[in-house]
Amino acid sequence: MLTYVIRRLLFSILVLFAASILVFWGMSLVTSPLGFLEQQPGVSEQTIQNIKDRKHLDDPIYVRYGNWVRDVFTDKFGTETISDQPIWPDLKRAMGHTVQLIVAAQLLAVLLGVAIGVYSALRQYSAVDYAATMFSFVGLAMPVFWLALMLQVLFVNIYLWFDVRIFYVASLNSVDPGTGIHFVLDRAQHLALPIIVLAVAGLASYSRFMRAAMLEVVNSDYVRTARAKGLDERRVTMKHAFRNALIPLITLLAIDFGAILSGAVVTESVFALDGMGLYFLTKLNAGDPYPVMAFLMVTAVLVVVFNLIADLAYGWLDPRVRLE
């Protein structure tokens, strides 16, 4: 077991390095951090050359890559090209906000999704089942940003017509949120809509998945044996069926992380939240590769970590897989 984990970790590190090289090379082709500076009439050639010297921007690519790797470990991703602002503090702050958003959304999606999925499977073809299926299909067909916008429209109009602010439609906090519980409530009111938006797609996906998994399990031979043993329905469902149906969901959760992050990028953009997504978009538009690289590597690490956790959880839940 331990050897498996170590083997996976080592391999993941390899993958991360390969990914970083690929991305770095791609970025160097795609971006020119000084591009827009060079277009400004007021900026002298000397200023630009100074920046280039300071950041070693004229060095060959492998040197720049080497510098970047060094910066990652020694200087926490280094600094931005033009402004010289350290990258990590900004990124860390943004990350914190995004984590709040993603964790809350996933929790909501998983808990509700599993509940609905199980219920739909046990009461197949009932009204709830049909409603849930319809909802899932629609939820998966809806672009995240559109849902975000529609909710914004709805709640802004509620405010305009009824003069009641239920949920906020932009930014993380109001101007003066106060401290302690007031702060938390204020944050909650602001994050509510983004969380709902992000949770919808996950909810749709997980409920369908759980339903299918439960149906398959509920008709299996071992559930029949459990019934033949005289166990009551609840035990049969919860202990025997549910446990087995849950296993593939775990893998799904981990794999989904990349998609969730993409959704978060879009949602943050619409709701103007100070998170990783917005950070990424802003720096991308500015054309500075270093913060963008930092973002990509951080997310890559997270994806790898989640995949590893999923594999381990899978092994823990399903004894058949454990003999690695």
Partner 1 sequence: MTVCATRSTPSRERVPDPVLSIDELTVEFETEDGIVHAVTDVTYDLFPGETLGIVGESGSGKSVSVMTMLGLIPQPPGRVVRGEARYGERDLLKMPTKELRKIRGGEIAMIFQDPMTSLNPVFTIGNQISEAIETHNPGMGDKAAHQRTIELLELVGVPFAERRVNQYPHEFSGGMRQRAMIAMAIANDPRILIADEPTTALDVTIQAQIVEVMKAAQEETHAATILITHDLGLIAELADRVVVMYAGRVVELADVYEIFNSPRHPYTVGLMNSLARLDADLEWLDPIPGQPPSMISPPPGCAFHPRCVHSQGRAVCRTDIPELRPIGDSGKHVSACHFAEELAAKDVVGALVEEPS
Partner 2 sequence: MSERSAQPVPDPFSPAVTAGGAVAGDIELSHESGLDLKARSQWAYARIRFFRHKLAVISLFVLAFAAIVAVFADQIAPYGFDEFDFEHIVAAPTLDGWHIFGTDQLGRDYLSRVIYGLRTSLWVALLVASVATVLGTIVGAVAGYYGGVVDNILMRLVDLILVVPFLAVLLVLSAYLGQGKPIRVGIIVALLIWTGLARIVRGTFLSLREKEFVEAARAAGAGDMRIMFRHMLPSTVGPIVVTMTLLIAVAILLEAALSFLGFGVQPPTPALGKLIGEGAGEGFSSWWLVTFPGVVIVTLALAVNFIGDGLRDALDPQQRTRA
Q: Which residues bind partner 1 (CB under 8 A)?
A: 220-222, 224-232, 240, 243-244, 247, 317-320
Q: 179 vs 219, which CB is nearer to partner 2?
A: 219
Pick from partner 2, partner 1, none: which does 227 bind, CB < 5 to 8 A by kind? partner 1
Pick from partner 1, partner 2, none: which does 212 bind, CB < 5 to 8 A by kind? partner 2
Query: What is the contact surface with partner 2 in residues (CB under 8 A)?
Result: 15-16, 18-19, 22-23, 26-27, 29-31, 136-138, 140-146, 149-150, 152-153, 156-157, 204-205, 208-209, 212-213, 216, 258-259, 261-262, 265-266, 269-270, 280-281, 284-285, 292, 295-296, 299-300, 303-304
The closest alpha carbon to 305, from 261, 244, 243, 242, belongs to 261
Pick from partner 2, partner 1, none: which does 226 bind, CB < 5 to 8 A by kind? partner 1
- Rounded Cα distance between 116 and 206, Å, is 9
List, in order, residues 6 or more apart from 14 with CB less than 8 Å away.
none
Contact, 293 vs 24, CB < 8 A?
yes
At 258, phi and psi to the nearest 5? -60, -45
- Rounded Cα distance between 115 and 315, Å, is 23
Structure tokens given for 161: 């017509």
Pick from partner 2, partner 1, none: which does 111 bind, CB < 5 to 8 A by kind? none
Pick from partner 2, partner 1, none: which does 21 bind, CB < 5 to 8 A by kind? none
Pick from partner 1, partner 2, none: which does 106 bind, CB < 5 to 8 A by kind? none
CB of 151 to partner 2, least distance (A): 11
Q: 174 vs 220, which CB is nearer to partner 1?
A: 220
Pick from partner 1, partner 2, none: which does 234 bind, CB < 5 to 8 A by kind? none
Q: 163 vs 221, which CB is nearer to partner 1?
A: 221
- Rounded Cα distance between 191 and 274, Å, is 11
The 3 state secondary structure assigned to 284-314 is: HHHCCHHHHHHHHHHHHHHHHHHHHHHHHHH
Q: 122 vs 149, which CB is nearer to partner 2?
A: 149
Q: 213 vs 303, which CB is nearer to partner 1?
A: 213
List, in order, residues 6 or more apart from 152 with CB less than 8 Å away.
169, 170, 193, 270, 271
- Rounded Cα distance between 25 and 12, Å, is 20
Q: 69 vs 212, which CB is nearer to partner 2?
A: 212
Instruction: Give the count of beta carbons closer than 10 Å to the beta carbon of residue 144.
Output: 20
Q: 231 vs 317, which CB is nearer to partner 2?
A: 317
CB of 108 to partner 1, least distance (A): 27
Contact, 87 vs 76, CB < 8 A?
yes
